[in-house]
Amino acid sequence: MHEDICFADATELARRIRDRELSPVEVMRAHLERISAINPKLNAIVTLADDALDKARDAEQAIMKGKVSGPFHGVPFTFKDSFDTAGVRTTRGSKLFEHRIATTDATAVARIKNAGAILLGKTNTPEFTLWWETDNRVFGRTNNPWNPDLIPGGSSGGEAAALVTGLSALGVGSDVGGSIRMPAHYCGVVGFKPTHGRVPLTGLFPEVLLRTMHVGPLARTVRDAALALHVMSGPDGADPWCVPVEPPGIPGRATTPLRLHVGWLADGVFAPVDPEVRAAVESAADALRIAGCSVEHVSLPFLEETEVLAIPGVTGTPEAGHYFAPMTRGWEYELSAIMARRLSGPWPNMREYARRMADWETLRRGMMAYFNTYDLLLCPTLPSPAYPHGLRELTIDGTIIKARQKLVTVVPWNLTGSPALSLPFGMSADGLPIGVQLVGRHFEESVVLQAAMALEEASPVRGKRPPLAS
């Protein structure tokens, strides 16, 4: 079923299109046929762009005339259903916006299009993107491609599930508390949350919690993530959070030792951690050592000193409540049960709010101090592989925790604004992917990508496909 096309990465597809080995129409038809066959098992792609084939024909005519519009010319891509896409339904995972048609493209969408890619469709997300399970009242739930009884993660779960099964060549998601890296870990793809302010948030919903919101790529390879990030980066004149810095470079395969100082941690403040996850992080540390890095086990006292998950809970609750109140008032019955509960409060008092803001400052300063010594942090993306839909408690290494506690490995880097990338580096005994996470200094995405490429080269699960991919 066109596996040579649908499992080629976006960089390779673009090259084959430029060299006229493949036509954009052939590539688009292959993906549409695969979606028809595979997507009903997953519910990953929820809306197809009506003009995808027409755009592919236009791209083919351009190639025949020797014209290439950018590095992704003719490559199909998907976006999470929280990004505005002109003329294509954008529901935000909510009954409140079930029939909404966006009139303009989000900045990230426009930039990927300007690089020559063709919008294939939109991928599933929980309501308002604010949950870790990809399920909503408009489209229903998305299943994990490795086991449909398990979650694919959220809130970019549809995107990750589509990529790992060859339904899309490239994807983009958002991350306010792990929403790119979590599905990347559970589904077995690359997910990159760049530095806060690297990619404009314009046209992304919701327009709240913006101090911790990031836009970034999901992909099957690190080089695809690097190229997509390069294309999307830079101010757009509309997003006040976006910083005018040069786009990150696109590292190639290392030909010399990396010479990076890497700290790694797979226990301590992140505990409990599944032994198989811990083993994957330790193996990744060994791989970086072989690649030329100086690698040592570290502790993170600044994380131990703060109740890190209380920070977004306390500071985000009143912000989200204030933002959503006007659009949900009188329509509460249309909300998912989870969203209705989250927006009902309770709101913190001012003393508690001030305390958590102080904790936030402690966390940011602690991370800055860490990077005075180290170039990177290597840690688990999440403390366990994927688990069954609907669980509110997890048992990890013999310890029962609330499901929210698993976010302790991802939320800190939203609060610090640090670039953080997850890539597959292991497989559980149950046949589930395990990701490891690299965290870097602000705006040093090229360093993160360089180390990620070395890990990808050494990954024992590189290119492995899930059962639902066939």
Question: Is 179 assigned a catalytic role?
Answer: yes
Distance CA 466, CA 470 (A): 8
* Eight-state DSSP code of residue 333: G
Query: Under a CB-based contact definition with an 8 Å cutoff, are residues 24 and 67 in contact?
Result: no
Q: Which residue has the tokens 């602690």?
A: 366
Which residue among 23, 82, 94, 155 is the active-site one? 155
Which residue among 23, 179, 446, 459 is the active-site one? 179
Distance CA 364, CA 109 (A): 30
Question: Is 428 assigned a catalytic role?
Answer: no
DSSP 429-464: TTS-EEEEEEEE-TT-HHHHHHHHHHHHHH-TTTT-
For residue 303, give both structure tokens. Answer: 């994380």
**Dihedral over alpha carbons 454, 455, 458, 463 (to 10 degrees):** -110
Spatial CA neighbour of 220 closest among 145, 288, 285 = 145
Residues 6+ apart with CB under 8 A from 151: 132, 133, 134, 144, 157, 186, 386, 387, 388, 389
Residues in the chain: 470
Q: Which residues partner with 440 through β-bridges?
A: 376
Question: Is 193 assigned a catalytic role?
Answer: no
> What one-letter code names the amino acid at 64?
M
Question: Which residues are known to be catalytic?
Answer: 80, 155, 179
